[in-house]
Amino acid sequence: MSNRSSGTLLGHPKGLFLLFSTELWERFSYYAMRAILVLYLTDKTMDGGLGWSTQNALELYGIYTGLVYITPLIGGWIADNFLGQRRSIIIGGILMALGQFTLALPNSMVDPHAITAFYLGLALLIIGNGLFKPNISTMVGDLYQDGDNRRDGAFTIFYMGINLGSLLAGIIAGTAAAAYGWKAGFLTAGIGMLISLVTQLVFAERLLGDIGKEPAAKRAAAMTKSGQKEPLTKQERDRMKVILIMGMFVVIFWAGFEQAGGLMNIFSQQYTDRMIGSFEVPAAWFQSLNPFFVITLAPVIAAIWVKLGPKEPSSPVKFAMGLFFLALGFVCMIGAVLQQGGDLNVKTSMFWLVGAYFFHTLGELCLSPIGLSMVTKLAPLRLASLMMGAWFGFNAIANYVAGIIGAHVGEAGPMAIFSGIAIAATVAGVLLLLCSNQLIRWMHGAEGHVVEESEELTTSTANA
């Protein structure tokens, strides 16, 4: 592919920072809207809200987030076979901007069809997201040649953009909604999406060259002897097995991690001493610890992976580290419960929560960006964006499982759930380490870790 980069910045192709910026503003748009959606639905109609019950609002929110994770499968397939990644991102971005601006239309303009306009806005966001989300991540991988050990670090930097967008979103959209009404919050989300689109349109040709222009299936067919689509090879099937097996471990990680928005949020609200002098720290502030830690730790982690060079751990080992860090975070939560000593009136130190979010973020950085990077290394070229969509599908399953786990806190109690997740994460991490050599063999050198294969060859030759 020609014009892979037009120079480097901080040791990475400049195209990475374009994709970083495009994703930052798209994620700002998504999280800005998400931050106020349920509040807008449940607010009184006299304040400009829709006056829904909490249950109905949460049900719609669950359906919306579920569809947001599932549509990338369809969007990935469309990009691979018809549109190409670059065109998919632009079309997806336009649809999302239209969706946000539809939600932002004043009630005086859409009455008596306010609910119809609301559903139309959501539909545009869901379809646009399906086209945008899997393809921007796949293009990050396309910036790097096979075997380039900067790729995991690149995805860690890219991941920082996602979290910077989410950190800004809640503050800006929340402030706009509080000062000027809900529609102003949706308007800021629309403006964020426009910035993302304009950034991509202005700089893509110069910084990305041909990357993402041609559909992956067409590129893959041109590389075969026949010039047509051929069946998957054994190597490609092995690599896809790795993606699916690692996906199961991802479900375990996110099912634990996602307790942050539910169970741990409730714990910070009800059982944590949040006083600093005469000031009480709002419980919602603890939700900002994760993006804050991602932004501060991501450059450090990215630099460590590059510094290690050939000694850099394989993806299965990094995933196992992520699961162990998740377990350590829940050990902090067990410490908080033990401090209570069974008395629910006792308020625990907020340092337990800070420690939990710190370790959970370390785990996230060992697993989430590494997973995105791994999919771009292992997925067959003609299925690149489709497999990225499938990877996001594992997140959808994890979110569903997380809800089931959190719902049982009343009958099981926080101690049982925190310790249960810590044990499950540890066992999963150990199991992954035990499987890692086989998984690396199935990767067929995609990450440069081929020692085990050569050892196996030596052993079999000696035996012969």
State the pLDDT at residue 2.
43
- The model's confidence at residue 219, banded by pLDDT at 50, 70 and 90, is confident
Write the CB contacts of 78 (distance below 8 Å, at least 6 apart in sequence). Answer: 88, 131
State the pLDDT at residue 65.
82
State the pLDDT at residue 105.
92
State the pLDDT at residue 19.
95
Whether residues 275 and 201 fall in one domain: no
Whether residues 50 and 171 fall in one domain: yes
Whether residues 120 and 259 fall in one domain: no
* pLDDT above 70: residue 25: yes
State the pLDDT at residue 165.
92
Across the range 321-338, mean pLDDT stands at: 96
State the pLDDT at residue 327.
97
Neighbouring-strand partners of residue 276: 279
Across the range 319-347, mean pLDDT stands at: 92
State the pLDDT at residue 199.
96
Whether residues 359 and 266 fall in one domain: yes
Q: Which candidate, 294, 414, 426, 415, places its Cα nearest to that of 358? A: 294
Whether residues 58 and 121 fall in one domain: yes
State the pLDDT at residue 217.
87
Domain membership of residue 4 (yes or no) is no
Domain membership of residue 82 (yes or no) is yes
Domain total of the chain: 2
Domain membership of residue 457 (yes or no) is no
Domain membership of residue 451 (yes or no) is no
State the pLDDT at residue 262.
67
- The model's confidence at residue 410, banded by pLDDT at 50, 70 and 90, is low
CATH number for the domain spanning 338: value is 1.20.1250.20
Across the range 429-446, mean pLDDT stands at: 95
For residue 273, how many C-alpha atoms fall within 13 Å in the half-sphere facing its CB?
14
- Beta-strand relationship, 348-349 and 272-273: parallel
State the pLDDT at residue 107.
78
- Least confident range from 225-229, 305-309, 435-439: namely 225-229
314: tokens are 């394989």
363: tokens are 């785990």
State the pLDDT at residue 249.
96
State the pLDDT at residue 458.
39
Whether residues 241 and 360 fall in one domain: yes
Range(s) of the domain holding residue 64: 10-218
Domain membership of residue 128 (yes or no) is yes
Domain membership of residue 458 (yes or no) is no
Whether residues 238 and 206 fall in one domain: no
- The model's confidence at residue 108, banded by pLDDT at 50, 70 and 90, is confident
State the pLDDT at residue 409.
64
Which of 176, 192, 218 is the endpoint of a domain? Answer: 218
Model confidence pLDDT, tens digit, residues 380-389: 998 999 999 9
State the pLDDT at residue 129.
95
Q: What percent of the chain has pLDDT over 70?
A: 94
7 CB burial (10 A radius; 0-12, 13-18, 19+): exposed
* pLDDT above 80: residue 257: yes
State the pLDDT at residue 450.
61
State the pLDDT at residue 354.
95
State the pLDDT at residue 401.
84
Q: Which of 65 and 26 is assigned the larger pLDDT?
A: 26
Across the range 192-207, mean pLDDT stands at: 95
Domain membership of residue 225 (yes or no) is no
State the pLDDT at residue 52.
85
Yes or no: say if 21 and 14 are a contact pair by the CB < 8 Å rule.
no
Q: Which candidate, 192, 256, 208, 252, places its Cα nearest to that of 87? A: 208
Residue 346: phi, psi to the nearest 5? Answer: -75, 130
87: tokens are 């065109």
- The model's confidence at residue 164, banded by pLDDT at 50, 70 and 90, is very high
What is the spatial distance between Cα 384 and Cα 370, in angstroms, rounded to a whole number? 16
Across the range 266-286, mean pLDDT stands at: 85
Across the range 13-41, mean pLDDT stands at: 90
What is the spatial distance between Cα 402 and Cα 102, in angstroms, rounded to a whole number? 31
Distance of CA 101 to the CA centre of its chain: 24
285: tokens are 């502030």
For residue 59, give the amino acid letter: E
What is the spatial distance between Cα 45 and Cα 277, in angstroms, rounded to a whole number? 39
Yes or no: say if 14 and 207 are a contact pair by the CB < 8 Å rule.
yes
Per DSSP, the residues of 273-289 read: E-EETTEEPPGGGGGGH
What is the spatial distance between Cα 41 and Cα 61, in angstroms, rounded to a whole number? 10
Q: Where are the alpha helices (DSSP H) in 209-314?
A: 216-222, 234-257, 263-270, 289-308
State the pLDDT at residue 357.
94
State the pLDDT at residue 461.
37
**DSSP annotation of 105:** S
Across the range 63-86, mean pLDDT stands at: 91
For the chain, the first-to-last Cα distance in angstroms comes to: 43
State the pLDDT at residue 6.
63
Whether residues 319 and 407 fall in one domain: yes
Model confidence pLDDT, tens digit, residues 225-248: 776 777 889 999 999 999 999 999
Q: Which candidate, 317, 340, 330, places its Cα nearest to that of 271? A: 340
Q: Which candidate, 238, 464, 444, places its Cα nearest to that of 454? A: 444
Which of 186, 218, 250 is the endpoint of a domain? Answer: 218
What is the spatial distance between Cα 280 and Cα 158, in angstroms, rounded to a whole number? 34
Q: What percent of the chain has pLDDT over 90?
A: 56
Whether residues 285 and 406 fall in one domain: yes
Whether residues 21 and 86 fall in one domain: yes
Buried b (16+ CB within 10 A) or exposed e, 94-122: bbbbbbbbbbbbeeeebeeebeebbebbb
In total, the chain counts a number of residues equal to 464
Yes or no: say if 168 and 30 are a contact pair by the CB < 8 Å rule.
no
Q: Which residue has the tokens 């150990």?
A: 430
- The model's confidence at residue 463, banded by pLDDT at 50, 70 and 90, is very low
Whether residues 187 and 251 fall in one domain: no
Across the range 71-79, mean pLDDT stands at: 94
Whether residues 132 and 250 fall in one domain: no
Domain membership of residue 171 (yes or no) is yes
Model confidence pLDDT, tens digit, residues 165-197: 988 888 888 889 888 988 999 999 999 999 999
Where would I find the beta strands (DSSP E) of 313-442?
A: 348-349
- The model's confidence at residue 51, banded by pLDDT at 50, 70 and 90, is confident
